[in-house]
A and B are shown apart, each in its own frame.
Chain A
Amino acid sequence: MKIVAKPVDAVAVFKGTGRPLPYKFRFREEDGTDREVQVERIFLVEERRIAGIRTLLYDCQSAVGGVQRRYQLKYLIQDCRWELYKI
């Protein structure tokens, strides 16, 4: 996987307790088209504090264009925003 670290629009489920779970997200491809991806599976959530920046890193998998692909989504807790971290 390669680091892309692109900010994405996201819909997430904030449960009463526990961590937020990404539901779907939208990002812009190189050619300018918007692509929406439904988060189908989450394998692992990791809490990180690299450089004191608190983040949650999600290991996910979805069907993108008919192919199952693994990727990582990142939630930046202080900034309250989502990033497509690795694909």
Chain B
Amino acid sequence: MIIFHIDANSAYLSWSAAALLERGGTLDLRTVPSVVGGSQASRHGIVLAKSIPAKKVGIKTGESLFEARQKYPKLLVVPPDYDLYMNCSDAMYGILRQYSPLIQRYSIDECFVDYTASAHRFGDPLALAERIRERMRRELGFTVNIGISCNKLLAKMASELEKPDRIHTLFPEEIESKMWPLPVAELFMVGRATAARLARINIRTIGELAAMDRHQLRAMFKSHGERIGQYANGIDSSPVVPNDRIVQKGIGNSMTVFYDVTDRRELLAYLLSLCERAGARLRALDARASLVSVWLRTDAFISRQHQRQLYFYTDQTSEIYRAAAALMEECWLGEPIRQLGVGLGSLSRTDQEQISFFDSEKASDLRSTDMWVDRIRQRYGDGAIMRGVFVNTTLKSMEGGVNEGQFLTMGGYGP
């Protein structure tokens, strides 16, 4: 197997930069400290992407624009343009498709290409990667990193080795020299929490993780432990699953309440209004979810999150709410709450369905109720039809943002 992983370098920023140049701008955002960040007018929002000079002055992705400006007052901030990013992503996919039919659009700025069957036609993978890299730069005006290996995991690790505009290989015989010396947090699927727990038992590099006993890993991290143990050894058997549309991996809605909620019924009503919004967005995507999570923040700024894997897929507001309410009961200890959110994950497309023995007979009735409620709201506004609990209260029947249009993130976890 020969797998390529193609990753656009600081995607949002370089796409915005290339578009600005193409539209007659004279300044290349990539050469000065600059970031792509939420609405500039309202002076808040977070850093979505940063240029390499911005990185050098200590600006981090995810921090607030306010913090970033304190580090560098003359920082240039450009608003995100999701239509442009979608176009760039499509253009990138368009070039890759000329070399292989097996392409997985992993996120808006990353693709996996299975080159195995195309090798006889286009020859040496390294020479082809060079050609792709050159074409991206010349034809599309931005640079990419390309990782080449025999499976997806190693290809992805390879493309992250040194940036920007580089090609790296990471075949099994190179793991020891190229991957094992890296800090363990660099490994795919090892996040902040896992890295911190590993540091406690003196596991600091990927090599040390690779040498760990798999039973011990399993004892510490359950199935996730076994997976990262395999990843550390470069083992990954997942195939390149072709998809021409980028798949959204989750939906989340959250809100900050303008006072601190202490009443259980009120809290659950807020949760329900978030479920209404998240459910409507889920149905608009033609998807169902089987992972429900609830997140809250207390008046003392303590955050807690609980999640549950359902044994079925659902797109019904009531089902989502039932799971979310149970989770809320689990993680709420009665303290005043200022912020809460609900998340839906493990999505599946509506046209594929696992039928469950335990589906209630009412399921299809509820499904059509949700559909009609969605339609009425679409035509007459969100407040046109609401559940009884919201009548004669100050609560809104739907809470949380909608993200008009394509709102896809970069990177991210998921199978």
Contact = CB atoms under 8 A, between A and B. Distances in A.
A5 interface: yes
A4 B26 CA distance: 10
A50 B26 contact: no
Nearest to A84: B24
Nearest to B138: A50
Contact of A51 (B18, B24, B26, B94): B18
Interface residues of B, number: 20
Contacts of B92: 52
B139 A51 contact: no
Interface residues of A, number: 13
B363 interface: no
Interface in B1-57: 15, 18-19, 21-24, 26
Nearest to B86: A52
A1 interface: no
A49 interface: yes
Interface string A1-27: 001111000000000000000000000
A52 B88 CA distance: 4
Contact of A49 (B21, B26, B139): B139
Contacts of A85: 24
A53 interface: yes
Contacts of A49: 91, 94, 139-140
A50 B140 CA distance: 4
B91 A3 contact: no
What is the interface of chain A mostly: helix, strand, loop, or mixed? strand
A41 interface: no
B270 interface: no
Contacts of A5: 23-24
Contacts of A51: 15, 18-19, 21-22, 84, 87-88, 91, 140-142
A51 B13 CA distance: 11
B89 interface: yes
B24 A52 contact: no
A82 to B, nearest CB: 13
B134 interface: no
Contacts of B24: 3-6, 83, 85
Contact of B19 (A4, A6, A53): A53
B226 interface: no
Contacts of B18: 50-51
User: Which of B24, B87, B88, B90 lies at the interface centre, i.e. has the most chain A CB atoms within 10 A of its CB?
Assistant: B24
A50 B84 CA distance: 11
Interface in B71-102: 84, 87-92, 94
B19 to A, nearest CB: 4
Contact of A52 (B23, B26, B91): B91
A48 interface: yes
Contacts of B15: 51-52
Contacts of B84: 51-53
A80 B141 CA distance: 21
Nearest to A2: B26
A6 B18 CA distance: 18
A52 B19 CA distance: 8
Nearest to B92: A52
Nearest to B85: A52
Minimum-distance CB pairs A-B, first 7: A5-B24, A52-B87, A52-B91, A51-B18, A50-B141, A52-B88, A51-B19
29 contacts: A3-B24, A3-B26, A5-B23, A5-B24, A6-B24, A48-B139, A49-B94, A49-B140, A50-B21, A50-B139, A51-B18, A51-B21, A51-B22, A51-B87, A51-B88, A51-B91, A51-B141, A51-B142, A52-B15, A52-B84, A52-B87, A52-B89, A52-B90, A52-B91, A52-B92, A52-B140, A53-B19, A83-B24, A85-B24
Interface of B: 15, 18-19, 21-24, 26, 84, 87-92, 94, 139-142
Interface of A: 3-6, 48-53, 55, 83, 85
